[in-house]
Homo-oligomer: A and B are copies of this chain.
Amino acid sequence: MSLLVVGSVALDSIYTPFGETADALGGSAVYFSVAGSLLNPVKVVGVIGQDYPVAELEQLAARGIDWSGVERANGESFRWKGKYSYDLQSRETLETRLGVFATFDPKLPESHRDAEYVFLGNIDPELQLGVLSQMRAPKLIACDTMNYWIQGKRPQLMELLARVDILMVNDTEARELSGDWNIHRAARWILARGPKRVVIKQGEHGALLMEPDRTFYVPAFPLEEVFDPTGAGDAFAGGFMGYLARSRQTSPDSMRRAMVYGATMGSFAVAGFGVRGFDTIDLGHVLERVQMFADLTHVPLAERIE
């Protein structure tokens, strides 16, 4: 089924203890679509400047990514520069240059308005609402946000929450949004504001899916080598939504499977710089890792004690 993502298409300069990249393909919509397109074609809505390396985007089109909804505006592309600590546990933003992203106002091409699975990447909640108003009959809407909007655009964000099926944020964002440091109470607070489900990403500690009457937990894959955590959360979202779009489902069981596909994509994302972690990954690798995830938490409870 048709899958749409709206988000940033950026150029990232990243320093980690293992190396660095300059002006590499990045941004939420890029990570989402590179991961998601392993499972289902992805239509992207975003904006780039005149300086963006379009040839590199075009190479990725072969994976099943439709860039026709990405506007090319006058000005510079969105650039982010960040540096990770020696253990990758924290990062410092060295520079953010919004460029054409500062005035981004998503306009969906006619061909994109029928999309059934929609992911609203982390942009101004007013713009996220604007995207929804352009959609005809979305079947499942998930959205991300960040501390900047939680602080600065709370009323608009609350309006958005009432209109989405799934909020997908990290633990810090869930705490800030709810004002509660307990992650489970924070998730319950969010559920009461509209979304039917909340996904809370916890980086190396996995991710939580909270529904009104049931909770699911998927760990992060046990990796002995992590090169670059950038984009892991957006790759998770791409795997999650890509799986649902491919399987044409929105059932509770399919949501659990989607969590595992999300965690799988997150584990590939951190294994290389930028989107490089996906260079050699095909559907076979994805399915293999999904099975490994299932084994990682499998509890052989057949033998009960009495």
Mark A residues whose CB is within 8 Å of B: 39, 86-87, 181-182, 184-185, 188, 202, 205-206, 208, 210, 214-219, 222-226, 243, 246-247, 253-254, 256-257, 260, 287, 290-291, 293-301, 303-305
Name A's interface SS: mixed
Q: Which residues of B contact A219 (CB under 8 A)?
A: 206, 217, 219, 297
A296–B207 CA distance with the chains assembled, in angstroms: 12
A299 in contact with B299 (CB, 8 Å): no
A184–B204 CA distance with the chains assembled, in angstroms: 11
A253 in contact with B217 (CB, 8 Å): no
A256–B297 CA distance with the chains assembled, in angstroms: 9
A87–B87 CA distance with the chains assembled, in angstroms: 24
User: What number of copies of this chain does the assembly contain?
Assistant: 2
Assuming the A-B contacts A291-B301, A299-B297, are A222 and B217 also in contact, with contact meaning beta carbons closer than 8 angstroms in the complex? Answer: yes
A208 in contact with B222 (CB, 8 Å): yes
Q: Which of A205, A206, A210, A222 has the most CB of B within 10 A?
A: A222
A299 in contact with B305 (CB, 8 Å): no
A55–B219 CA distance with the chains assembled, in angstroms: 44
Q: Which residue of B lies closest to A215 (CB)?
A: B222
A247–B291 CA distance with the chains assembled, in angstroms: 29
